[in-house]
Amino acid sequence: MPVVQFNPFASLVQPAFWHELTRLKVDVLRLSDDELTLAGSYSVGRSIRDRETGQDVALGCNLSLGADAFDKTPTVPALSVSARGVFKNFNTIDEFKAADKAALFNTVADEMWTSIIDHKDTSKLNRFLLITFADLKKYQYYYWFAFPAFVAKPSWEIADNWKAAEEHLSADQLTSVFNALHADTKPYFIVKLTDGAAQLHTINQADTLLTGSDSQSIIIGFLDPSASPENPGWPLRNLLAYLLALYPSHTTFLRVLCWRDSEIPSPGKSWKSRFGVVSHPAGNDAASKPTALGWERHPTTNKLSARMADLAPMMDPTRLADQAV
């Protein structure tokens, strides 16, 4: 059986975030390099039909940071969920380079694992880490994201590849999932199928639902930022780790719904959500902490390295004056 491959998160930092960081650095943080909490968000995976070739182009699996990332209660758009992150800014490029990145990463991963084992908490499953160095004079921002994910050994496998959700769920059932998500968007949920409808439950109820007699009608669902047909998004990875750690006896077959519809499709169009049955051999030592990985790779070199946003063309007053007419 093929191994389930997850589409990693790709960070998207809005220029407004760098502006806000600049303001914060100059007016509030000054030389402090304490860790702060960030709020990013991700939405359902989107694809666009190319008008000239008729092909569907899947857009990236993005986690974005905006100007309100430092706010305690950021607003998230419809069918998006907020993800909390740890933010650490360094004062010099040398500190940035010399930082013990593995230690920072492990701290976040440990915190995630503890929340799973001790609190059965799903709210930290999509944690991320962002380290930055802001060169305010040059309007250059060095940054590196990490999206920690726990590695399953052996890997999760999928029996019959990912299929369109329509093949397994009726349009009525999909519509009721959509309505429930639209009213209250959750990153992870459990769908309980009934005749012609579907009920949404929180993951905390997995205890009763997975062990119930009608486990065939239970589907694990998550808001999927990936639009690639073969690969579910990164959040599923930690959700599966969560289920494997807490309910190891029920992971031999898990029915998974990758939710990707931001609107009810108009007549003639199909639903974009995907469905698959994943499995993991039961009976391994689930309680021990698995290894975690997830540093973002540089988009052009595909190496593990930090990247830089150069906002001088849009922030430097002299450059702006040059192109003004």
Among 196, 212, 283, 299, binds other proteins (CB under 8 A): 299
Nearer to other proteins, 195 or 267 (CB): 267
Quick check: 255 and 215 in contact, CB under 8 A? Answer: no
Least Å distance, CB 62 to other proteins, is 7
CA distance 43 to 91: 32
CA distance 271 to 263: 9
Tokens for 284, please give them.
């391994």
Q: Is residue 102 within the footprint of other proteins (CB under 8 A)? A: yes
Torsion angles phi and psi, residue 308, rounded to 5 = -135, 140
Q: Could you say which residues in the range 177-196 bind other proteins, by CB under 8 A?
A: none
Q: Is residue 71 within the footprint of other proteins (CB under 8 A)? A: no
Q: Could you say which residues in the range 225-284 bind other proteins, by CB under 8 A?
A: 227-231, 237, 262-263, 266
Quick check: 117 and 245 in contact, CB under 8 A? Answer: yes
Among 51, 72, 137, 269, binds other proteins (CB under 8 A): 51
Among 36, 67, 197, 200, binds other proteins (CB under 8 A): 67
Among 24, 29, 58, 277, binds other proteins (CB under 8 A): 58
Q: Which residue has the tokens 């698995």?
A: 290
Q: Is residue 103 within the footprint of other proteins (CB under 8 A)? A: no
Is the preceding peptide bond at 74 cis, omega within 30 degrees of 0? Answer: no
Interface stretch with other proteins, choices 5-13, 187-195, 199-207, 247-255 (CB under 8 A): 5-13
Torsion angles phi and psi, residue 109, rounded to 5 = -65, -40
Q: Is residue 295 within the footprint of other proteins (CB under 8 A)? A: yes
Q: Is residue 110 within the footprint of other proteins (CB under 8 A)? A: no
Q: Is residue 88 within the footprint of other proteins (CB under 8 A)? A: no
Least Å distance, CB 311 to other proteins, is 6
CA distance 25 to 166: 49
Q: Which of 155, 158, 124 is nearest to 291 (CA)?
A: 155
Among 25, 46, 120, 201, binds other proteins (CB under 8 A): 46
Among 27, 52, 118, 195, binds other proteins (CB under 8 A): 52
CA distance 202 to 207: 11
Q: Is residue 1 within the footprint of other proteins (CB under 8 A)? A: no
Q: Is residue 293 within the footprint of other proteins (CB under 8 A)? A: yes
Nearer to other proteins, 4 or 69 (CB): 4
Least Å distance, CB 9 to other proteins, is 11
Least Å distance, CB 309 to other proteins, is 6
The strand pairing partners of 293, in sequence order, are 149
Tokens for 79, please give them.
């069918």
Q: Could you say which residues in the range 112-141 bind other proteins, by CB under 8 A?
A: none
Q: Is residue 325 within the footprint of other proteins (CB under 8 A)? A: yes
Q: How far apart are the first and last CA of the chain?
A: 61
Q: Which residue has the tokens 């062990």?
A: 211
Q: Which of 167, 174, 165, 172 is nearest to 196 (CA)?
A: 172
